[in-house]
Chains A and B, each alone.
Chain A
């Protein structure tokens, strides 16, 4: 057993940020799933909304990316 308690907490924290990525995955899946549900009901309107789909995905993804940022900061900046 070696190493200090601060390093231990750092690695545990990095592992915990993986939860953030998982929830971001739920968010992106929700966007895509709802888009598909709407698109299958009204396929003629679907093509005009793909841009909205990608914007929605990007915003949902952004918060997962912040958890990745926290992981990077913990690993390399703290």
Chain B
């Protein structure tokens, strides 16, 4: 770990907040151990269910707060799929809305003080990204058969450059789950670590006011980042879905 003491009694442990620990006792972490990740993943699922199911249960014509949040998210994701992947992409709307709600709530619940950010772990975001990657690949082959490979063979380009483009396209295709998962996890790790570093500076009386204002500023920025990263993850899923449904460029 790169967190060394910096002298002067200041101690920075910005990465300690990402440690996975068992909920009960101090035993070793096996795959079935309930840990803080388990707790916060469950809370994330419950929060998104609460907003989408309980929030819209009233079916009011003039929506209350929870219902308008649910309607906003529904409308945002619906329009995104329609604009990017087309009408036939709407068959996959339930999964993409689930993905969006899950990521946005995981990010926002991670910002609650003393909470654990589940999306800061590549194990969590990696599974989300691999599910999208395999799902999109399977949809592509089922819908288009061998024509799905047209995605890599760019017919609009001159014949001479097509093999080169094919190599680049194949690499960029297989790098998708990596970039999806690391973008989300990296943004979460970096933002939370920066907040912790500024919070560490608050221990020095001379810079404490600046540090506290910086923490407030970073926190506000992180709320924005939490929503934007969920949006980016969802929008890239839509772009990949469009490639799977209409592989010819």
Contact = CB atoms under 8 A, between A and B. Distances in A.
Binding partners A and B: yes
Interface of A: 14, 51, 54-55, 57-58, 61-62, 65-66, 68-69, 75
Q: Is the interface of A mostly helix, strand, loop or mixed?
A: helix
B2 A61 contact: no
B83 A68 contact: no
Contact of B80 (A14, A51, A68, A75): A51
Contacts of A75: 2
B235 A55 contact: yes
B239 interface: yes
Contacts, number: 34
Contacts of B186: 65, 68-69
A58 B183 contact: yes
A54 B182 contact: no
Interface centre among A65, A66, A69 (most CB of B within 10 A): A65
B46 interface: no
Interface centre among B80, B83, B179 (most CB of A within 10 A): B179
B213 interface: no
Interface of B: 2, 80, 83-84, 175, 178-179, 182-183, 186, 190, 228, 231-232, 235-236, 239
Nearest to B2: A75
Contact of B232 (A14, A57, A66, A68): A57
B55 to A, nearest CB: 26
Contacts of B183: 58, 61-62, 65
A55 B2 contact: no
A58 B80 CA distance: 16
B4 to A, nearest CB: 11
Contacts of A62: 175, 179, 183
Given A68-B186, A75-B2, A54 B179 contact: no
Contacts of A57: 232
A55 B239 contact: yes
Given A51-B84, A75-B2, A69 B232 contact: no
A14 B2 CA distance: 11
A28 to B, nearest CB: 12
23 contacts: A51-B80, A51-B83, A51-B84, A51-B235, A54-B228, A54-B232, A54-B235, A55-B235, A55-B236, A55-B239, A58-B183, A58-B232, A58-B235, A58-B236, A61-B183, A62-B179, A62-B183, A65-B183, A65-B186, A66-B182, A68-B186, A68-B190, A69-B182
